[in-house]
Amino acid sequence: MSSETASGSTSPSRGASRFREVVFPRISGRSAELEREFEAARVRGYAAGHAEGMRMAAEAAALIREEAQLERETQRLSVERRLSSTLVALEEAALALAERERAVIAPAQRTLEALAIELAEAVLGAALADPEIAARAALQRALSQVDPAEVREVRLHPDDLALLQENGVSPEGVTVVPDAALAPGDALVLVPDGSIDARVASAFERARAALGELT
């Protein structure tokens, strides 16, 4: 009995050594201040990060706008270059077409002009086949090219002058004399500064020369 009691009993000193008092640290005023500083730093860091993020976003947006504007400008310049090239090509094509038209039309035009002069010569020749008509036409043609007051003398073929005198045609204030060097239907007008060639053949020669200069 005494032995069981001796073996099952626990010594107070041994039990006390198993359990120790747990001590919880108290938050002092210094720790609370550190907590506040940490929170303030966190808020500042968040604000700074947010501001930096906004700045970077704004820079990225500005860069995108610049790139878009640059692309639009590049496209505009490309369109202008293509348009300019197209206009130049059209102008060159128009000039080439006009040149080809002139090359084709010019000979035909010269032929038509020559035929027109020949036709006029034929018509006039038929009209001047009548001696009286030829004589009157010669005098009228001579006086129509200059002011009668400036005419010193009109020269006609002798036959033309005779026909005019027979028919009572005598221009007032104008001296008309025969000139055998002239052909029937021709006239020569003397003025203070020289003479005016009113011959039919000379008129057609001048017409041909003028057309030649135009073509």
pLDDT of residue 179: 92
Just give the CATH number of 131-214: 3.30.2320.30
User: 157-196 pLDDT, tens per residue?
Assistant: 999 899 888 888 888 888 899 999 988 888 888 888 888 8
DSSP string, 125-179: HHHTTSHHHHHHHHHHHHHHTS-GGG--EEEE-HHHHHHHHHTT---TT--EEE-
Number of neighbours of residue 159 by Cβ within 10 angstroms: 15
Q: Which residue has the tokens 């501001």?
A: 51
The answer to whether 138 touches 185, Cβ cutoff 8 Å, is yes
**Secondary structure letter of residue 26 according to DSSP:** P
pLDDT of residue 10: 47
By DSSP bridging, strand 176-178 and strand 194-197 are unpaired
pLDDT of residue 114: 61
